[in-house]
Amino acid sequence: MAQGQWERGADGGTWSRRGVLAGLLGAPVLLVAACNGAKGGGSSTVTTPGGGSAADPSPKPQKTSAAVITVSPADGTPNAAFANPVTVTVADGTLDSVKVTDATGRQLAGQLAANGQSWTSTDPLSSGTKYTVAAVATDQAKLQADANTSFGTATPANTFVGHFTPEDGSTVGVGMPVSITFNKAVTNRKAVQQAITVTAEPGVEIVGHWYSSTRLDFRPQQYWAKGTKVTLKLRLKDVQGAAGVYGTQSKDVSFTVGRAQTSVADLAAGTLTVTTDGQVSAVYKVIGGSPQHRTWAGKMVISERFEATKMDSATVGLGDEYNIPDVPHAQRLTTSGTFIHGNYWSAPSAFGSSNTSHGCIALRDVKGGGDPGTDGAKFYRSSITGDVVEVANSGDRTVDPANGLSDWNLSWADWKAGSAI
């Protein structure tokens, strides 16, 4: 074997120097041994010896550091488990420095053990990412050894996402909660909720509430103040929502609360009273649900708006009682099918005097919705998604808070009880 060559020891995992190249100082030799390139990671033992002196041209044995550095995941691992930390250990020495860096140059934080012989990353790894590791250690003779390795993390096969409302950049009413629906059931609710933050300017306490394993809403104790700027931060990438199921999103969403408008439909009086920025801005005559199909009571939030839409009783479990292809100025209040909408088929005298609908709240309108002077058109034009419509004296029970965006029907104590953190 020629000078400067290294050979593997009997244990198959340790390299030793057979000779040196005369007159060279700190030759750039990188040695990797005992690499386990299995899917889960494994570890690499990597050592580069310390230097001699180039001032003296006569051949001399080069001193080698006794420190042996081991890195896990092993050098060259293509699909390391991203849920596991990076570990660096040293035998016969102490660690001077450890740097773990991704392809963008972001460096992972880590914790060095008190004895200086091990280091463990504390920042989470990202899936589908390549990392490089550079470590330096010193033995008792003050000779340094270093290790330089790289590995890649696996991409999860089973993932989940959260579909959110309201949309980024939208302007909404004071009653709009942040509502997130997950496409797969979440069992690790605490980890998922911790990865989602909702903040407001001006600041206010905002709490999350789980309705089910697939729905998490956020709201403050009272309606938002007009002009509030709200930001949703989803940091779900690589968060384990359930066994073997990981999130993929890292996204920011912002929306603004517009003017403060709420409405109260008193179905005993047959009126809809609209209050805008603290002042009554309109009073309309309405039709509510009949004794056979009473309108839900309580606070509901406009979640969708349509200039015109088809309403078919078969879609809400009422058989063939009605099928109207062009209901004007329709605004959804519940998932189950409650709307506040224009009505052109009832007699004008019915508005404000009788409740005959199948559960919706109706305002006078015209076929096609083309008359801007009707109550249906005016209320529609004054409304935005996120406005609150509260129903009083309907004769029915309070709407289920999970039915649509009816979050405000829970007390603050009950709301907070549904948080996982």
Burial of 363 (0-12, 13-18, 19+ CB in 10 A): buried
Burial bucket for residue 266 (CB in 10 Å: 0-12, 13-18, 19+) = middle
Q: Does one domain contain both 44 and 30? A: yes
Q: Residues 299, 192: one domain? A: no
Query: How many other C-beta atoms lie within 10 A of the C-beta of residue 34?
Result: 18
Same domain, yes or no, for 254 and 303? Answer: no
Single-letter amino acid, residue 138: T
The last residue of one of the domains, among 218, 233, 258, is 258
Are both 189 and 268 inside the same structural domain? no
User: Does 205 lie in the same domain as 128?
Assistant: no
Tell me what pLDDT residue 57 has.
Answer: 58
* Same-domain pairing of 81 and 103: yes
Residue 132 sits in the same domain as residue 59: yes
pLDDT in the model for residue 316:
79
Query: CB atoms < 10 A from the CB of 278, how many?
Result: 8
Q: Is 35 among the catalytic positions?
A: no
Q: Which two tokens stand for residue 404?
A: 């649509």
Domain boundary among 238, 258, 278: 258
131 within domain boundaries: yes
Provide the domain count of the chain. Answer: 3
Among 209, 329, 341, 358, the active-site one is: 341
Q: Are residues 167 and 226 in the same domain?
A: yes
pTM of the model: 0.81
Given this model, what pLDDT does residue 5 score?
Answer: 35
- Domain final position from 152, 183, 209: 152
Based on the residue annotation, tell me whether 329 is a catalytic residue of this protein. Answer: no
Pair 332, 220 in one domain = no
pLDDT, residue 317, reads 80
- Position 339 in a domain: yes
Q: So what's the pLDDT on residue 228?
A: 98
Nearest to 46 by CA among 77, 8, 78, 75: 75
For every one of its 421 residues, what pLDDT tens digit does the chain have, with 9 covering 90 and above?
Answer: 333 333 334 343 333 333 332 333 333 333 333 333 334 457 767 665 654 444 555 666 668 999 999 999 999 999 999 999 999 999 999 999 999 999 999 999 999 999 999 999 999 999 999 999 999 999 999 999 999 999 999 999 999 999 999 999 999 999 999 999 999 999 999 999 999 999 999 999 999 999 999 999 999 999 999 999 999 999 999 999 999 999 999 999 999 999 999 999 999 999 999 999 999 999 999 999 999 999 999 999 999 999 999 988 787 788 777 788 999 999 999 999 999 999 999 999 999 999 999 999 999 999 999 999 999 999 999 999 999 999 999 999 999 999 999 999 999 999 999 999 9
Residue 245 structural domain: 159-258
Residue that the structure tokens 């076929």 belong to: 367
**Is 416 inside a domain boundary?**
no
C-alpha of 271 from chain center:
41
Q: What is the CATH number of the domain that holds 289?
A: 2.40.440.10
Residues 173 and 213 in one domain: yes
